Amino acid sequence: MPAPANTFKKRLEARETQVGLWVSSGDASIAELAAGCGYDWLVIDGEHGPNGLRDILGQLRAVGDKSHPVVRVPDDNRATIKQMLDIGAQTILVPMIDSAEQAREAVRSMLYPPKGVRGVGAAVARASGYSAIGDYTQTANETVCLLVQVESLKGLEALDDILAVEGVDGVFIGPSDLGTDMGYGPDAPEVREAVTGALKRIQEGGKAAGVLATVPDVAKDYVDMGVEFVAVGGDVLVLRAALCDLRAKF
C-alpha cells in the first residue's frame, strides 16, 4: 500500500486556488473548529505559535482530513522537518529562505535517499500508519510537499534561483517580514507592489504562489490573480476581532 495522496499538492499542480487560515493558537480544539469551516488548508504555526512537537501532533489529529494541514516549522532545521513528516504532516512550510542553497537543503530534508537525506523511521511513525502502509518509504517522496517562504529583500533578489530548485512545490511571500525589511508596514503600497510582483514572478517561473492577506479586499485581489494558496486570516486575529465586536455591542 502506497503513502496517501496529497490532495493539496495535486491541486497546486493543477494551479487551482486554495483558501487557507493561519492557526497560531496552539490549541487542538481551535484547529478542529477551523477545519470544519471549509478552509482548504490550515497552517499549524510552529514558528511564531506556541507549538511543540506534541502540540502539533494533537492538531494534526484534530484536523484529520477535514482540511489540509500545512506545518510551518521554526526554521530549516533538518531534524525538525524529519519529525514533522514522521508525525504525519505531508506539507511543510519553511520560513526565511534567502537563497537557492537553502531551498536545496530543505528539499533534501524532505526526501528519502537517494534523492534526499530524510532519516528512515517509518516503522514507528504515524506517517506510515505505524507500519500499516508497507510501501511508505518507497512512495512518500511523491506525496510530500515543500513550500518555502521568501520574506526578505535578500530572498527577493534570489527568487529566480530559488524558483529553479527542483523539489520546491510552492513559494510563499511573507508580507510582514518583507515589509519590515523594506522599512514599511505589511499593508503599505510599496510592500503590496513588491508582493504582487513576486507572486507574478513565482507563477511565471512555474511554481505555485502563496501569500497571507488579512484584509479581505486584498485577499480577493490575490484570488482573482490566480494565486494558488491564499491565507485570508488567522485564528487569533479572528477570535479577538469577534470578541471585541461582541463586547462593543453592550
155: cell is 530572498
The whole-chain average pLDDT of the chain stands at 97
Above 90 in pLDDT, residue 195?
yes
CATH class entry, domain 7-249: alpha beta
88: cell is 504525519
Amino acid at 12: L
Contact 235, 23 (CB under 8 A): yes
Work out the average pLDDT over 44-62: 98
Band (1; pLDDT cuts 50, 70, 90): confident
Task: List Cα–Cα distances, 68 to 7, 56, 88, 92, 221, in angstroms.
Answer: 8, 14, 11, 11, 23
**Cα dihedral value 169, 174, 178, 184, nearest 10:** 150
Res 171: pLDDT: 99
Contact 116, 108 (CB under 8 A): yes
Res 206: pLDDT: 97
Instruction: Provide, rounded to the nearest whole percent, the portion of the chain with pLDDT above 90.
Output: 97
Encode 74-126 in three state secondary structure. CCCCHHHHHHHHHCCCCEEEECCCCCHHHHHHHHHHHCCCCCCCCCCCHHHCH
Above 90 in pLDDT, residue 28?
yes
Q: Which of 48, 61, 78, 200 is catalytic?
A: 48
- pTM here is 0.97
Work out the average pLDDT over 99-123: 97
Work out the average pLDDT over 212-225: 97
Above 80 in pLDDT, residue 74?
yes
Amino acid at 211: V
Res 3: pLDDT: 86
Residue 68 a catalytic site member: no
